[in-house]
Amino acid sequence: MSRNLPLLLALAAFVASLFIMPHTQALFAWAFPGTRPAVYDRGTFVALAASHLALVAIAVGAATLCGTAAAIVVTRPWGQAAAPLVGLIAKIGQSFPPAAVLAVMVPVLGFGALPTLVALFAYGLLPVVENMQAGLRGVPASVREAATAMGFSPWRTLLLVELPLAWPQGLAGIRTAAVVGLGTATVGSTVGALTLGTPIIDGLVANKPGFVLQGAIPLALLAVVFELAASTRKGSASF
């Protein structure tokens, strides 16, 4: 319980900020006089947070599936020749700034969540591919040989032996993709995606610093929750 206390406190603070923020008009009106409205009111903070988390979850989930499939292919004897191509494709996704990816995708996909999902997917693919590939290559040959001696087929060995052993390494890549996606999703508000970055972008455009703070506070708390959750899980695994 004591190990999880910081995580629980951060989670409680994040959830509380979503519900308390709409009731801070007097505070922000005092801090930033002349700003009307004093608090972002084009949507609820709960809805913004839910949309933000949904975008990250969908993109990271897709990156995990595609990245794991690619790592499996390039670690099989028949797919090793594709390793340079897979690595190149994954690295291309991170070679462009998120704003550039969004600028390219908007004419094709329009405004809204879809361009943001593409950007998040592109940024999350590389860490998943690299970590899962490293995990699969790190499985000792003696373990594979033992599975074969027990009568396991190659695919059964992959599913029941290799992937479970590679999972801790792959999980590190998924964690990186999620943390990067958490921040990158904020930029998606520039093309109409609903995220916790929406008040920030609106505040910057309309010169309303209160809006910037109202988006930044829950976003920072959410980042703390992600980091503490990952650290707690890592500590439990090592224990």
Rounded to an integer, the average pLDDT of 112-123 is: 89
Q: What is the pLDDT of residues 164-202, one digit of tens each?
A: 999 988 988 998 888 888 888 998 898 888 999 999 999
Q: Which CATH number fits domain 5-34+41-238: 3.10.129.10, 1.20.140.10, 1.10.3720.10, 3.30.10.20?
A: 1.10.3720.10
- Number of residues in the chain: 239
What is the predicted pLDDT for the residue at 236?
54
If one counts every other C-beta atom within 10 angstroms of the C-beta of residue 156, the result is 13
- Give the model's confidence band at 1: pLDDT under 50 very low, under 70 low, under 90 confident, else very high: low
Find the mean pLDDT for residues 109-123: 89
Instruction: Give start and end residues of each alpha helix (H) in the chain.
Output: 5-20, 25-31, 45-74, 83-95, 98-109, 113-137, 141-149, 154-157, 163-187, 197-206, 209-238
pTM: 0.87
- DSSP letter string, 118-136: HHHHHHHHHHHHHHHHHHH
pLDDT of residue 73: 92
Structural domain boundaries of the chain?
Answer: 5-34+41-238
Mean of pLDDT values over 147-170? 90
And the tokens for 99? 């704003």
